[in-house]
Amino acid sequence: MDSPEYLERRRTPFSPPTVTLKEIHDAVPKHLLKGNPVLATLYVLRDISFTLLLFKLASHISDIQAGLFVRSFLWLAYWWVQGLVWAGIFCLGHDAGHGTLYRSTWMNNLVGFVLHTVSNFPSFATSSMERDENYVPYSRSDYGLPSKDKARQFDYDEVFEETPIYTLSRMLIMQGFGWWVYLAKNTMGSKMYSPGTNHFDPDSPLFKPEQRNAIIISDIGLVVMVLLLSYAGPSFFFKYYLVPYLASPLMFTYLHHSDPTIPHYRKAEWSFLRGAAATVDRPLLGWMGRFFFHNISHDHVAHHFFSSAPFYNGPAITQIVKNVLGASYNYDSTPSFYALYRSFTQCLFVEEEGDIVFYKNKNGEAAREVAYDAVKRIKVDGWDPVAQDELDEKDKAE
């Protein structure tokens, strides 16, 4: 089920992109970076109306004179569609966090707060998401594995052997609750912060002092939501809320950054451009993803390069970025759920050494190699990722 693009990447040793950020920026016309507040509002209203309409429709399911089978099917349909809508609301909230819905920061914050609170995700904490602070890979020593030349198959088996049922349930748990665990304890978060760093704590080192009030407001929003839900009662909570909620946005955030063919850079080789290019566009859930998730998954690479561009210009920007990046543009049409399974079972750990690393699987094998000659050649040609990054930042400030 691996897509042809994925297989091609596996076969091709990896060399980092050689285009500059300036080339990418120059290629994108400025008008695509400007937002239209009316359009943004229409999308927000659209998604809120969908939510209310679905609540209304679901409230009639129990009235329907039909067998258990039909009613169960209708509940499943409700959960599925509502889950899609809420993931879309999460995306809108996330975009508000990037300040792309409205011109005023105040409006963006307000709308973002409401959208995140309604979809019950701490609003201000999610802004750390794209600074690559989540999904930092586990390393060999995190698992207590012996070194590369010493480790035997037996050692790997001991750590990673598990039955498919176990893998599947681990995956479901990560999809459903992993997000909360990450927020509460910074699991898989950046190693810059001590383990257990909490995203709800206003004094957490994750946030700047000026973000303190925002975190407090975000926490209050969550508490209010939890109170409202308890007031609505367990039956409402389980039937209307929990399942769609668990069909959470984690799936797409995880999938865009964790793939056996996508590199992770350590500091010496990292640059903004390389980080942005180390993401994947996926046609997640096909037209449903386009429609409900506002193309966030289809146009994810573009979002990393131009996080201040409005989401509805994503398709146009993707076309341009794809042309400029050439072979460094990553796309993967592997069916979404299989891709999730593949990443989950194959992206287990990375080696401690090396500045460009790929995930390894349960046998300690990486799906892709680094083309070290190409990396060296780039250096000889005068490419310095750190210097480039400084230029890039200046570029962005302009």
List the alpha helices (DSSP H) in the chain. Answer: 4-11, 21-27, 37-59, 68-97, 105-118, 153-160, 164-173, 179-185, 212-232, 234-236, 243-246, 250-255, 272-277, 286-292, 300-305, 314-325, 336-346, 372-380, 385-397
Residues 6+ apart with CB under 8 A from 392: 21, 22, 271, 272, 273
Please choose, out of 171-179, 200-208, 288-296, 300-308, the segment that lies near ligand NAG by the rule CB under 6 A. 288-296
Q: Give whichever of 108 and 295 is closer to ligand NAG, judged by the CB atom.
A: 295
Taking the C-alpha atoms of residue 334 and residue 339, their distance in angstroms, rounded to an integer, is 6
CB count, 10 Å around CB of 136?
17
Please choose, out of 203-211, 230-238, 270-278, 290-298, the segment that lies near ligand NAG by the rule CB under 6 A. 290-298
Number of residues in contact with ligand NAG under rule CB under 6 A = 6
Q: Give whichever of 317 and 324 is closer to ligand NAG, judged by the CB atom.
A: 317
- Least distance between ligand NAG and beta carbon 297 (Å): 10
From 22, 315, 337, 377, residue interacting with ligand NAG (rule: CB under 6 A): 315
- Least distance between ligand NAG and beta carbon 309 (Å): 11
From 86, 292, 312, 344, residue interacting with ligand NAG (rule: CB under 6 A): 312
Supply the Cα-derived Rg of the chain in whole angstroms. 22
Q: Give whichever of 36 and 72 is closer to ligand NAG, judged by the CB atom.
A: 36
- Least distance between ligand NAG and beta carbon 123 (Å): 21
Determine whether 383 is exposed, middle or buried from the number of CB atoms within 10 Å of its CB (0-12, 13-18, 19+): middle
- Least distance between ligand NAG and beta carbon 312 (Å): 4
The reply on whether position 290 binds ligand NAG by CB under 6 A is: yes
- Least distance between ligand NAG and beta carbon 318 (Å): 8
Copy the structure tokens of residue 324: 């400029």
Q: Give whichever of 298 and 368 is closer to ligand NAG, judged by the CB atom.
A: 298
- Least distance between ligand NAG and beta carbon 89 (Å): 13
Please choose, out of 79-87, 163-171, 300-308, 311-319, the segment that lies near ligand NAG by the rule CB under 6 A. 311-319
The CA-based angle 226-215-39, given to 5 degrees, is 85
HEC-encoded secondary structure of 223-266: HHHHHHHHHHCHHHHHHHHHHHHHCCCHHHHHHCCCCCCCCEEC
Q: Give whichever of 9 and 304 is closer to ligand NAG, judged by the CB atom.
A: 304
Q: Give whichever of 296 and 348 is closer to ligand NAG, judged by the CB atom.
A: 296
Q: Give whichever of 228 and 288 is closer to ligand NAG, judged by the CB atom.
A: 288
DSSP per residue over 9-61, as a string?
HHHSPB----S-HHHHHHHS-GGGG---HHHHHHHHHHHHHHHHHHHHHHHTG
The reply on whether position 286 binds ligand NAG by CB under 6 A is: no
The reply on whether position 274 binds ligand NAG by CB under 6 A is: no
Q: Give whichever of 121 and 311 is closer to ligand NAG, judged by the CB atom.
A: 311
From 248, 295, 343, 346, residue interacting with ligand NAG (rule: CB under 6 A): 295
Q: Give whichever of 17 and 283 is closer to ligand NAG, judged by the CB atom.
A: 283
- Least distance between ligand NAG and beta carbon 39 (Å): 9
Please choose, out of 106-114, 217-225, 251-259, 287-295, the segment that lies near ligand NAG by the rule CB under 6 A. 287-295
Q: Of 371, 395, 323, 398, give the one whose Cα is nearest residue 19.
A: 323
User: Looking at this protein, which amino acid is placed at residue 216?
Assistant: I
The CA-based angle 250-84-116, given to 5 degrees, is 60
Query: For 113, how many CA atoms within 13 A lie in the half-sphere containing its CB?
Result: 16
Interface residues toward ligand NAG, by CB under 6 A: 290, 294-295, 312, 314-315
